[in-house]
Structure 1
Amino acid sequence: MAEKVRLDKWLWAARFFKTRSIAIAAIDAGHINLNGERVKPARGVTVGDSLRIHAPHGNFEVEVLGLSEQRRSAELARSLYSETERSAEKRKLDQFAKALEPQFDHPHVRGRPTKKWRRKLDALDVHNPNNS
């Protein structure tokens, strides 16, 4: 019988998620597919399984190369899986597209706008009837 590790523990050990509870929440939300199926957190992962992972830092398609129940260094975590070339290219394109998206945040504004900044925003608002 092949050795198995819980999916939530493996995702945490491979450093896709910062905590096991975040990994469990992602699995329950359907962001993780094991061999093309939606699974539960306690499902066993074996070497050779394929995973599709939708994490906050990107979408990954990986093949499991090793098993671990303990969180180790990032170098050891990367040795637990192999990302497909298609997945790596798609993530690079997504990062490039995100870098090209316009940023509507003012770099000096945190929280509520100041009175001065609010007046500047109101001056730009052409659809505001109070602005005339």
Structure 2
Amino acid sequence: MMRLDKWLWAARFYKTRTLATDEIAKGRVRVNSLEAKPARDIKAGDTVAMRQGPVTRTVVIRALSLQRGAAPVAQQLYEETPESLRLREATAELRRLNNEPAASIEHGRPTKRDRRNMDKAGGKNWGDRWSASVDP
């Protein structure tokens, strides 16, 4: 038997135990389809469903480890279900096919480089003015 938050940390789903505890407290982690608490005891064979960003991952616990090891070792602690793998691949494909919303922005506030280029090109010379008023 082992605490859920320790196992999630050891299996490298979260960088720290505190992050794992926070995610469990927010209700983003379920054990055997039941809401869990950070101190819940888990054992090999339990099913853990966790939401990481837009993706929900479902894994079956294969082994327990009291220490956090290298990533290949941590991957030996669990086995992801086939449905979870399909869902994750479908989500990744959707992200790949959809455009980034920020890429469509053509106009906006000029960058420092844009401002320098505009000053060199001419136009209104703001450097000679001591005020932003229209009066000369």
- Once residues 26 and 37 of structure 2 are traced to their aligned partners in structure 1, the CA distance between those partners, rounded to angstroms, is 10
Q: Indicate whether 1:59 and 2:89 are aligned.
A: no
Residue 72 of structure 1 corresponds to 69
Q: Does 1:27 align with 2:18?
A: no
Shift of 1:69: 1.9
Residue by residue over 1:60-116, the C-alpha shift from the partner in whole angstroms, topping out at 9 and shown as x without a partner, is 111000001211010110000010111101100001101112212249x9xx83166
Structure 1 ranges of 4+ moved more than 6 A: none
TM-align CA RMSD: 2.3
Q: Which TM-score applies when normalising by structure 1?
A: 0.77
Structure 1 unaligned regions, length at least 5: 118-132
Q: 2:38 aligns with which of 38, 41, 50?
A: 41
- SS state of the match for residue 8, structure 1? helix
Matched residue count: 111
TM-score by length of 2: 0.74
The superposition leaves residues 22-55 of structure 1 with CA deviations (integer Å, 9 ceiling, x where unpaired) of 1011000111000010011000110110010111
| Structure 2 unpaired stretches of 5+ | 116-136
Larger of the two Rg values belongs to structure: 2
